[in-house]
Homo-oligomer: A and B are copies of this chain.
Amino acid sequence: MYPKSIQKLIDIFSKFPGVGPKTAARFIFYLKKVPEKEVENLLELIKHLKKDIKTCSFCFNIFEGPGAKEDLCPICQNPTRDRTLLCVVEKEQDLVSIEKTDKYKGLYFILGGTIPILKKEKKKIKEKELKQRILHPEKFGLFAAEFKEIILALNPTAEGKATMLYLKRFLKPLDKKITSLGLGLPKGGELEYADEETLASAFERRE
């Protein structure tokens, strides 16, 4: 139906997370109508993303390195962050959500995924990299750090919980304090629809 190259473009956009063929088509007709300049910006920024955006040697977060020498992201470089706290998150967006709360001043480690519940898929989380960074942060460019608490800030979903359980066992030999986030009713939530585990935790954590 669509010209061949348009169909190819639809196929590529359809691989974007949460995008189907209809949405992909809408993207294309949007791009066809948008000013030349804006599209050029988009292409430039995507190239920049692939070429110049670095991944932090310690926490695996992405960052913009003005100088080629740097290997650490701004958070890991920041001397005012508390280097006794390490917060393990699944992905970059979770790190950003936590930073927005402005409540956490320690460092991060991006695990890169969770343990799949379905046996078929194979686990692709960075548990070994995590262990090494807890034991020898200096080997990865982070100095004057000694972690006293490892916060497993993963989603309280089935996958997230399985992963936290796995990591607790995996990190046990390191003999560090390992914590996870408190369950509770979210802002706007209702007791009537809360599961028992969530409600019990909200009760224990009352203040």
Contacts and interface: CB of A to CB of B under 8 A. Distances in A.
Q: For chain A, what secondary structure do more than half of its interface residues adopt (helix, strand, loop), or is it mixed?
A: helix
A49 B32 contact: yes
Interface in A162-207: 179-207
Nearest to A27: B16
Chain B CB within 10 Å, residue with most, of A38, A90, A98:
A98
18 contacts: A1-B99, A5-B45, A5-B48, A9-B45, A12-B42, A25-B92, A31-B49, A32-B62, A39-B50, A97-B191, A101-B203, A104-B203, A153-B191, A156-B186, A182-B203, A186-B189, A186-B195, A205-B205
Interface of A: 1-6, 8-9, 12-13, 15-18, 22-23, 25-32, 34, 36, 38-39, 41-43, 45-50, 52-53, 62-64, 89-94, 96-104, 151, 153-158, 179-207
